[in-house]
Every structure is written in structure tokens, then in C-alpha cells.
A and B are shown apart, each in its own frame.
Chain A
């Protein structure tokens, strides 16, 4: 069609401009060399390998559970940041802000639902991913350390979910966290001091909410990003995904 040809020509012209070529260096990815560069030369993508085994791409090989876990993390980060615009981590504003988000803010209820749904889905996905990796032997040498990174990610996910649970400051949140932090105090020797530092005091109040907010929005997401990067990097360096032979 004439319009498509015209558009293509304009795009080609754009691609030849000096400005474009100062940003995008490799040219269109039409040869294996430029396709390699698309991954190898990219800041975000070079954590992936340049080539993968074909059988690792089938849905039945991994059910894409690892990818799903990562995508859910991305969704949670985006919705979480947006929710932060209206949320004050203070008592009693926190609960008022929840009501605000649900009843007043445009699309607030949708974003909140999405955030909570993705959170529950991520816990399920991460557990399912771990069990599936176990059953297909993806922890065997040389992938041992990546499994350990994965366990770390599991703990970070659970702790992220737990700290987020307190933030609405409703009855469900408050008493769920009461039970949880009281379990921590049963750890021998260090239990009570850890609980004191976690809550910023003896009771679940203003300090606890703020600390859980900082954990949930800054500390744990940073830890997750570092571990995720390591997790992807190890897959590339240890020889790619493990696929069970009967799925070839």
C-alpha cells in the first residue's frame, strides 16, 4: 500500500539522522549480528543470553512461571508507586487514604484491586515456580547457587506481602500483624529485640506503620531487584534453563 511504503521510507530517513544514530547504534535487527547486539548491547536485556535452546521456550517446559513472577513484580511496582501518591503512612490518615482511594480517587479502586490481586498472585506464582523448578531438577549442579538466590527471593516476596498487609491499617491488617510480630518474639534470645526494632517500640502504632512502609516501598524492593538481577544473570552464566527430557 502506498501509505505503508511512504511510512517506511520516512522511518528509514529518520533512522539515518544523526540524532537517531547517536542513540540507537546497531541498526535494524535483521542479521544475526544485529540480533545478537539487540540483547548483548542493551543495558536492560544483556542479562539474558544471546541464544537460547529452542525446547526451553515451549510453554510446557516452564509454564513461564518465572517470567510470570517477574511480570507480577513489575505490575506491583507500577501500581504501588501510583498508590503512593495518595497514601500517608500515618495513623489515622492511612485508613482515611484507603477510603479515599477506593471511593473518591479516579480509578483508585481499580489500582488498589490490581495491586492486591497481583500481590496474592505473586505469592502463588513464586511458590509454584519453586516447586516446578524442583520437580524438573533445575537446582542440580551447576545451578545450586541460583536455587539459593531463589529461596532468598521467596523470603523477600513473603516479607513484602507481609509488610504491605499492614498498610491499610484496618482490623484485618492490624491483628494479622499482631499475631505475626508476636511469633517473632518467640525466637530465642534475639526475638524481643528484633520485634522492638521492627515495630520501633512495644506496640503496633505510628512507628510500626512507618517502618513497615519503608520496608515495603524501599528496602525490600531494592533487595528484590538485586536478587532478581542475580537470578537472571546466573541462568545465563550457568548454561540456560533446565528442561525435562520428556518435554522435548
Chain B
């Protein structure tokens, strides 16, 4: 019968697959596809498509509202920094493990209470275990003269808004 056995001593010949083996392979393949499909569907299900989280783009106010070198906006966890070169918006979330930093005016430093990271007001790491500088967010001056910050758009440190 075709595909039943190979004659011993002969070199490997491509024999026909038996009906049983063929059906087994088809079943196994179908189950594998079903299993992978189930896993993919579950992972997709678990990743939410719509998030009910606070909006990430916000209006910060007019530039003249910010007279201090560093102003902290608590609702957004963002610093609005003003220097002689211009203004920028910076994340107040420590890049180490996510604690909220605090600006210390007496030492002109931004300090994190969790593990002692210290940042300059430009965002660069001065001390502590933080691996990256505080990211700067895109900030543009809208037509009505109000600053608009987008927390999802990270810009480089050199982008400074001239006001």
C-alpha cells in the first residue's frame, strides 16, 4: 500500500503520506492556528482602544502669566520654565521611576523625593539615578495669545519658544 513503509536499506525516497498522517497534520495545523488566533484575540482585547484619561493637550495661559523662572502646573504635572532665552514646557515626572519632582527655588534645582535625583531647570540630570533628562513638551503660542502644550509630543531641549 502506498506510504505504508519504507524498504530497509534503500536511500530515502519521498513516499506518499498516509491518510492518517495527513489528517493528523491538518488537525494539528488547524488547532495551532486556532490557538494562536485565540491568544492574539485575547491580547488585542486586553489593550484598550479608548482611554478615559485626562486630555494631554492643554492651554497653559498667556506668556505674561508666567513671571517666575519655574512655574509648576499641578493638574498637568508640567513645569513652564522661563529664562532669558525664552520659555519651554517640561515634564515634572522623574524619568527614573515616575515620582513627581519638586522645584527648589533656593538651589535652582528640580529634585525628586523618591531616590534623590536632581535636575537643572533645563531638564538635564545633575545627580541621582535618573537615566534621562526631563523631556520637553511641544509648546506653541496660539492665535489668541494663549500657550498650548501637547504632552504627547516630545521636542528636543534646544527648541525654545521666544516670547
Contact = CB atoms under 8 A, between A and B. Distances in A.
In the complex, A touching B, CB below 8 Å? Answer: yes
Interface of A: 175, 178-179, 181-183, 193, 196-197, 200-203, 205-207
Given A179-B114, A197-B43, A202 B99 contact: no
A36 B53 CA distance: 60
B98 interface: yes
Interface in B34-93: 43, 46-48, 51-53
B44 to A, nearest CB: 10
B53 A205 contact: yes
Contact of B48 (A178, A179, A201): A201
5 contacts: A179-B97, A183-B97, A193-B47, A202-B51, A203-B53
Nearest to A205: B53
Contacts of B98: 178-179, 181-182
A193 B51 CA distance: 15
Top 10 closest pairs, chain A to chain B, by CB: A182-B98, A182-B97, A179-B97, A201-B51, A178-B98, A197-B46, A200-B48, A203-B53, A197-B47, A201-B53
Interface of A is mostly: helix
Q: How large is the interface on B (under 10, 10 to 19, 20 to 34, 35 or more residues)?
A: 10 to 19
Given A197-B43, A197-B47, A202 B53 contact: yes
Given A197-B47, A201-B48, A175 B53 contact: no
Contact of A178 (B43, B47, B51, B99): B99
Nearest to B43: A197
A203 B54 CA distance: 10
Given A178-B98, A197-B46, A202-B51, 16 more contacts: A178-B99, A179-B97, A179-B98, A181-B98, A182-B96, A183-B97, A196-B47, A197-B47, A200-B46, A200-B48, A201-B51, A201-B53, A202-B53, A203-B53, A206-B52, A207-B52
Nearest to A179: B97
A97 B91 CA distance: 33
Contacts of B53: 201-203, 205
Interface in B111-136: 114
B97 A207 contact: no
A59 B47 CA distance: 49
